[in-house]
Amino acid sequence: MTQPNESLHLLALLVHRGYLGREGAQRVAQAMERGLGLADAMANETPFSPEYCAWLVETKAGQYPRIPGFEVGPCLGRGGTSEVFRVKELKTGQTMVLKVLGPVAMRQKATLKGFVEEGKRLALLRHPGLVEGYGVARYGEVIFSKLEYVEGETLQDILDRQGVFQEDEALALLVQVAQALQYLAQADLVHRDVKPGNIMVTEEGRVKLIDLGFCAVQDEACREGLAVGTVEYLSPEQALGGAGADVRSDIYSLGVTLFQMTIGRLPFEGNGSEEVLRQHVMERFQSPELKGRHLSPQLQYFIEKMLDKEAGVRFQSYAELIEEVEGQLEGSRRLDYTQGTPSRKSPSPPTRPQAKRRRP
């Protein structure tokens, strides 16, 4: 049985995590003063079913969800709309990930729709460079998607920990990301949120593209003229808002990612989102570091072409991008071989510690 102080703490947590508003919490607190337990008080004073109220109390406001058929393990990450848990499916013994939609997001129709669509879409897609999806399910008021568990960490985690990548290493990873995006393009889809935080790298150095929450059919315009994606990685046409989804926009975001991987900063930085968006649209890209860090002219060419303000000047397809980057990698391997360093024939995956997790 929950103690009074514990119940009040849990009530505050329910407000903090978005399950209850302040007015609703006050009504629940008053009902508790009349002698009701927290679960019964919520059942009386909120639209929640008694079963859901009991679930919220049992799981400490959803922090430790209990879902039939799964042994729920640790939380691997929390995003703006969801939380990710490592679980074991009891029926099969398979380790997987549950991505659980948060309470605030569940009340937002567009977010809820996007979450369900992402789960359904992933279940239909199969590519080595995409995290696998196993569908969307619901338990009571809880909506979650089932995903492949990936042993590894994001590119952003690696950048935060070890700094920049070697040029060949960065380009080899770029090719893998481009191949996954090419597969999406062949399915008439664009990702629209390409960034280091959405690119996992496994222990074997393989790339897994995650989070298709902003994924859309090619040429599908953003609703209400809004910019979709992460501000620091938006193409100029996306930054203006209302632009149709296009592979060249993803190529721009991939160029920002390549620049960050090799230089260690973002190409456009400012005070606040509006300033960064303005720079993406108006300011010419320039980076003295590209010429001063013993980086090849070819890398400078790739980044400048991918970050051109005009979509028509960028690489027009992933096939074109992959062909040129692989040509550079092959030339680099041949040069290393003639100089007596054949061990660099295949770029090594980035080194990382044993700690691993998957982000939402």
Instruction: Please state whether beta strands 70-78 and 82-89 pair in parallel, antiparallel, or not at all (unpaired).
Output: antiparallel
Residue 355 belongs to a domain = no
281 shares its domain with 163: yes
Last residue of a domain, one of 58, 87, 104: 58
Q: What is the pLDDT of residues 156-206, one digit of tens each?
A: 999 999 999 999 999 999 999 999 999 999 999 999 999 999 999 998 999
Residues 281 and 235 reside in one and the same domain: yes
Q: Are residues 213 and 134 in the same domain?
A: no
Based on the fold, state whether residues 185 and 297 are members of the same structural domain. yes
| 335 and 240 share one domain | yes
Amino acid at 72: V
The Cα 165–Cα 225 span in angstroms is 36
In a domain, residue 63? The reply is no
CATH number of residue 266's parent domain: 1.10.510.10
Give residue 291's pLDDT.
76
- Would you say 142 and 100 are in contact if contact means Cβ atoms under 8 Å apart? yes
From CA 124, how far away is CA 132, in angstroms rounded? 9
Which stretches of the chain score pLDDT less than 50? 1, 223-225, 342-360
Residue 342: what pLDDT? 46
Number of folded domains that form the chain: 3
- Looking at residue 284, its pLDDT comes to 80
Q: What is the 3-state secondary structure (H, E, C) of 254-322?
A: HHHHHHHHHHCCCCCCCCCHHHHHHHHHHCCCCCCHHHHCCCCHHHHHHHHHHCCCCHHHCCCCHHHHH
Q: Are residues 227 and 104 located together in one domain of the fold?
A: no
**Res 351: pLDDT:** 47
Indicate whether 350 belongs to any domain: no
Same structural domain for residues 206 and 134?
no
Residues 178, 310 within the same domain: yes
- Between CA 358 and CA 258 the distance in angstroms is 21
pLDDT in tens, 59-78: 999 999 999 999 999 998 88
Q: Dihedral, CA atoms, 182, 184, 186, 189, nearest 10 degrees?
A: -130
Coil, helix or strand at residue 225: helix
Q: Are both 142 and 113 inside the same structural domain?
A: yes
Ramachandran quadrant class, 243 (left: phi over 0; alpha: psi -120 to 50; beta: rest)? beta
Q: Are residues 45 and 186 in the same domain?
A: no
User: Do 99 and 214 belong to one domain?
Assistant: no
Q: For residues 75 and 146, is the Cβ–Cβ distance under 8 A?
A: no
The yes-or-no answer on residue 40 being catalytic is no
Q: Please tell me the predicted confidence (pLDDT) of residue 353.
A: 41
- Residues sharing a CB contact under 8 Å with residue 285, sequence separation 6 or more, in sequence order: 267, 268, 304, 307, 308, 309
* Residue 321 and residue 265 share a domain: yes
Structural domain range at position 340:
153-345
Residue 44 maps to a domain:
yes
Domain boundary among 127, 148, 169: 148
For residue 317, the model assigns a pLDDT of 96
Catalytic, out of 193, 246, 250, 308: 193
pLDDT (tens digit per residue) in 94-123: 999 999 999 888 889 988 998 999 999 999
